[in-house]
Structure 1
């Protein structure tokens, strides 16, 4: 494993009050390649118990449904668009009643659909559909304990596997305001993994949820939390220190980006969101799955999918969040 960057250690030496907020993390640093089943990797063949079936997800999955508008509704929307352009060109200032009425008409025609395709004049909505016998999960990540020593490994386990269903899911149990793949995490003992499983890819998988196979070059780092998770005066000191050294606090000293095990989450799209376990404990960041780059995933419109786990009992249900 590559040596630790000393920058955060220098900051902690200068501002010792930050020490309780420092967390270890491992940046996974994926590179496209052909990983072997007995190594840490993204999207490669998985070690697997010989007597265990490959898991499937029965959904419900969010499926796109298209509904053709009637000629009358299409003509109504086209007329509304023409009227809107005419009002805009004329810079009308008394159009409130017309706009309100048109909005009511649009709402009636869309009937709760999410999008209107103005090429085919179809309403597009996402509806939940169950799948029998189910969609095979795909292997996203396999980590060996020797490569990620900072994780909280259960006794007797030395292989960690992350699988997910490569379909869209909405409002999974316990996952508020979530849209994305359904995730499973398995801790294994290498001694119990007698078989090698090629990763199945369902024919109807969302392409952006299927990772390109990658090798990993893990590096252990120490990082600090985002501004909202520090006392204001302490953050001010840390920011001033960073500026004096010509670096940015966020993403350089705190909340490092990329595929990452452990560490701190970034709250760059929303305010900090409390993510609690069903038992009441505050969860901790377990894994960050990044979009783009060599694995070529796209989660949350090129965002980060973060997996949080319970610090009291790792068997408690995961919590998922996308930024």
Structure 2
């Protein structure tokens, strides 16, 4: 079943024409529980990984909450699949020349000062993965299960976004009065209902929980571009009003008071910190396409 974000309840660009230069397109993946194969676009599903290429592992130090210490695990921990997306399912996302498949994995143990998952980005030509495919490893015992997704099929949809936390301060000052008037008149909060799409998505603006932290490329020094947001939830108690797909809406009698059907709120069974998110970035200036990341939560 396809997923369709409802038509915006107001014309954002007519109300706030100053936002037009900041419009970006993102691809909402709309993951839902399923049984994807290694040939499918998926969240948390098996990857199309060449049999001749070793599966990536994490050899970094991990934070152990039970011991309040850090240490390097032995043996090394296989990374877990997060997202696999074919170019055909990612309209508008700039794939490197000669590639048509994006694969993102990470180590779900806590790393570094802010205790974040550690992601890796791989681009490949799916037609070059001939012959046998390496089986996707079963997640190692003892991993924090809500730090990696359950297998989900995806229903990609391209939507328009506008910045909220990334809105320049001087422009926010210009628009604040109109934002407040819209809230008073319609109950629509610009940041929750009209700006960035929530959930797991490609491109657009990061779905920040805290203030923005855009990494710079270590090679060229330029600010990296947003590639992927992996959020704990697909929407929250406010944003569902405008971002919950039409196909997942339910009346109160069907859902016991909820406004959505089934697992639409948290289909991948994730809880990253205090319902936060991981943001993956890339430098599109450097030929090797280096990646960066950030993690935040409430």
Using structure 2 for the length normalisation, give the TM-score: 0.77
User: Per the alignment, in what secondary structure is the counterpart of residue 289 of structure 1?
Assistant: strand
Give the alignment partner of residue 259 of structure 1, picking from 191, 200, 208.
200
Q: CA deviation at 1:51?
A: 1.3
Structure 1: runs of 5+ lacking an equivalent: 67-124, 172-177
Q: CA deviation at 1:260?
A: 1.2
Change (3 A) 1:163 1:266: closer
Contact kept, 8 Å, 1:46 with 1:199, in 2: the verdict is no
1:212 aligns with 2:213: no
Quote the Cα distance in structure 1 between the aligned partners of 2:77 and 2:90. Answer: 30
Quote the Cα distance in structure 1 between the aligned partners of 2:189 and 2:137. Answer: 40
Q: Deviations over 1:161-206 (max 9, x none)?
A: 11111222114xxxxxx31211101011111123152343112322
Q: CA deviation at 1:242?
A: 6.3
Contact kept, 8 Å, 1:40 with 1:215, in 2: the verdict is yes
User: Per the alignment, in what secondary structure is the counterpart of residue 226 of structure 2?
Assistant: strand
Quote the Cα distance in structure 2 between the aligned partners of 1:267 and 1:139. Answer: 22
1:233 aligns with 2:174: yes
User: Per the alignment, in what secondary structure is the counterpart of residue 220 of structure 1?
Assistant: strand
Instruction: Return the structure number with greater strand share.
Output: 1
User: Per the alignment, in what secondary structure is the counterpart of residue 127 of structure 2?
Assistant: helix
Comparing both chains, which one has the higher relative contact order based on Cα–Cα distances under 8 Å and sequence gaps of 6 or more? 1
Instruction: Give the equivalent residue in structure 2 for 1:180.
Output: 116
Q: CA deviation at 1:50?
A: 2.6
Quote the Cα distance in structure 1 between the aligned partners of 2:88 and 2:11. Answer: 27
**Which ranges of 4 or more aligned residues in structure 1 deviate by more than 6 Å?**
none
1:306 aligns with 2:279: yes
Q: Deviations over 1:214-266 (max 9, x none)?
A: 11111110010015523121454455456555522112211221111111124
Matched residues, number: 257
Instruction: Give the equivalent residue in structure 1 for 2:254.
Output: none
Instruction: Give the equivalent residue in structure 2 for 1:286.
Output: 227
Q: Deviations over 1:115-157 (max 9, x none)?
A: xxxxxxxxxx2x2211344111111111111111222210111
Instruction: Give the equivalent residue in structure 2 for 1:249.
Output: 190
Quote the Cα distance in structure 2 between the aligned partners of 1:236 and 1:196. Answer: 56
Quote the Cα distance in structure 2 between the aligned partners of 1:237 and 1:282. Answer: 31
Structure 2: runs of 5+ lacking an equivalent: 234-265
Instruction: Return the structure number with greater helix share.
Output: 1
Contact kept, 8 Å, 2:182 with 2:189, in 1: the verdict is no
Quote the Cα distance in structure 2 between the aligned partners of 1:227 and 1:53. Answer: 40
Quote the Cα distance in structure 1 between the aligned partners of 2:62 and 2:165. Answer: 36
Quote the Cα distance in structure 2 between the aligned partners of 1:189 and 1:266. Answer: 29
User: Per the alignment, in what secondary structure is the counterpart of residue 321 of structure 1?
Assistant: strand
Change (3 A) 1:60 1:201: same
Instruction: Give the equivalent residue in structure 1 for 2:31.
Output: 30
User: Per the alignment, in what secondary structure is the counterpart of residue 11 of structure 2?
Assistant: helix
User: Per the alignment, in what secondary structure is the counterpart of residue 291 of structure 2?
Assistant: coil
Q: CA deviation at 1:65?
A: 5.2
User: Per the alignment, in what secondary structure is the counterpart of residue 7 of structure 1?
Assistant: coil
1:1-323 paired onto structure 2 within 5 Å: 6-7=7-8, 10-64=11-65, 66=67, 125=68, 127-171=69-113, 178-194=114-130, 195=133, 197-227=135-165, 229-230=167-168, 231=171, 232-234=173-175, 236-237=177-178, 240-241=181-182, 244-268=185-209, 270-278=210-218, 279-292=220-233, 293-313=266-286, 315-323=289-297
Using structure 1 for the length normalisation, give the TM-score: 0.72
